[in-house]
Structure 1
Amino acid sequence: MFKDEDLDPIQVTSLWKKERDLTDSGIQTRELETFDVAVQSIKRKHRQVQTDEDIEEDIRLEDDDSPELSDFMQRIGPLMIHELQKNMRSHAFDVVLTLTCYLRYGRYDHEDWCTHKSALCTWNLDRRTLDANKPDTVMDLSSCLMCIAYHPQKPGLIVGGTFNGEVLVWDLSREDDILVASSGIGDDSHREPISKVEWVKDQDAKGAKYKIVSVSSDGKILVWQRNAKKHKLKLSDGFILLTESLPRHLRVKAKRGDQEMGVTCISFNPLDETTFLIGSESGGIFKCSTNTHGTPAGRELVSSILLSSPVTFSFSPHHGPVYSVDSSPYHRNLFISCGTDNTARIYSLLQMQPVLTLEPSAGYLYSAKWSPVRPLVVAVVTESGQLLLYDLKRSRTSPVHKLNSSERNRPLYSVQFNHKQPLLATAGADGLIKIWHLSDDLTSPEANENDVLEEIAGAALK
Structure 2
Amino acid sequence: MEIVHVYTKKRNEFGRQCNFSDRSAELHVDILPDPSLASSFIERDPCDVPIQCTQEMSEHEVNTERFESDTRGINHVEGGWPKDNMEHCIKQNNAINIYQEYFEEEEVVEESEEQPSAKTINVFSCKLAVAYSSLGFQNISQDMSYDSYIWDIENPNKPEMTLKPVSLLVCLEYNPKDSHILVGGSYNGQIVIWLQSKTGTDTFSASTDGQVLWWDIRKMSEPTERLVLDPNKKGNLDNALGAISLEFETTMPTKFMVGTEQGLVVSCNRKAKTPAEKIVCTYSGHHGPVYALQRNPFFPKNFLTVADWTARIWSEDIKESSIMWTKYHMAYLSDGCWSPIRPSVFFTVKMDGTLDVWDFLFKQNDPTLSLKLGTATLLEISPGLCTLQRNEKALATAMFERETKREKILEARHREMRLKERSRSEQSKEEDTKEGEGEESAEERATRTETEVLENFRTVDGESLMSQ
Which TM-score band (shorter chain)? Answer: 0.5 to 0.7
Partner of 2:148: 120
Partner of 2:164: 140
Q: Matched residue of 2:361: which SS? A: coil
Q: Matched residue of 1:118: which SS? A: coil
- When the two structures are aligned, how many residues end up with a matched partner? 282
Partner of 1:12: none
Task: Pick which of 447-456 and 156-165 moved more.
Answer: 447-456
1:335 to 299, 303, 316: 303
Could you tell me which amino acid in structure 2 is paired with residue 439 of structure 1? Answer: S
Where structure 2 has 5 or more consecutive residues not aligned to the other structure, the ranges are: 1-117, 407-468
Q: Does 1:238 align with 2:226?
A: yes
Q: Does 1:325 align with 2:316?
A: no
Q: Matched residue of 2:300: which SS? A: coil
Equivalent pair of 2:177/2:200 in contact (CA under 8 Å)? no
Partner of 1:109: 136
Give the drift of 1:150. 0.7
1:363 to 313, 328, 331: 331
Identity score, percent: 23
1:165 to 182, 189, 208: 189
Change (3 A) 1:392 1:235: same
Equivalent pair of 1:243/1:258 in contact (CA under 8 Å)? no
Give the drift of 1:339. 0.9
User: Structure 1 residue runs of 4+, over 6 Å off?
Assistant: none
Where structure 1 has 5 or more consecutive residues not aligned to the other structure, the ranges are: 1-91, 175-179, 181-207, 247-255, 296-307, 407-431
Equivalent pair of 2:263/2:285 in contact (CA under 8 Å)? yes
Q: Does 1:312 align with 2:280?
A: yes
Q: Matched residue of 2:294: which SS? A: strand
Q: Matched residue of 2:377: which SS? A: strand
Q: How does 1:14-413 map to 2 (within 5 A)?
A: 94-95=120-121, 104-111=131-138, 116-125=144-153, 127=154, 130=155, 132-171=156-195, 209=200, 211-227=202-218, 232=220, 234-244=222-232, 259-292=239-272, 294=274, 310-340=278-308, 342-352=309-319, 353-359=321-327, 361-406=329-374
Change (3 A) 1:257 1:237: closer
Could you tell me which amino acid in structure 1 is paired with residue 300 of structure 2? Answer: R
Equivalent pair of 1:388/1:401 in contact (CA under 8 Å)? yes
Report the TM-score when normalising by structure 2: 0.55
Equivalent pair of 1:265/1:280 in contact (CA under 8 Å)? yes
Partner of 1:433: 376
Name the structure where strand makes up a greater proportion of residues: 1
Equivalent pair of 1:378/1:389 in contact (CA under 8 Å)? yes
Could you tell me which amino acid in structure 1 is paired with residue 404 of structure 2? Answer: A
Give the drift of 1:310. 2.7
Equivalent pair of 2:292/2:307 in contact (CA under 8 Å)? yes
C-alpha distance in 2 between matches for 1:405 and 1:337: 22
Partner of 2:76: none
Q: Which structure has the bigger radius of gyration? A: 2
Q: Matched residue of 1:279: which SS? A: strand
Report the TM-score when normalising by structure 1: 0.56
Considering Cα pairs closer than 8 Å and 6+ residues apart, tell me whether 1 or 2 has the greater RCO.
1
Partner of 1:460: 404
Give the drift of 1:319. 1.7
Partner of 2:100: none
C-alpha distance in 2 between matches for 1:233 and 1:405: 42
C-alpha distance in 1 between matches for 2:211 and 2:342: 34
Equivalent pair of 1:360/1:398 in contact (CA under 8 Å)? no
Equivalent pair of 2:285/2:322 in contact (CA under 8 Å)? no
Q: Matched residue of 1:170: which SS? A: strand
Name the structure where helix makes up a greater proportion of residues: 2
Could you tell me which amino acid in structure 1 is paired with residue 245 of structure 2? Answer: C
What do you get for the CA RMSD once the two structures are aligned? 3.0
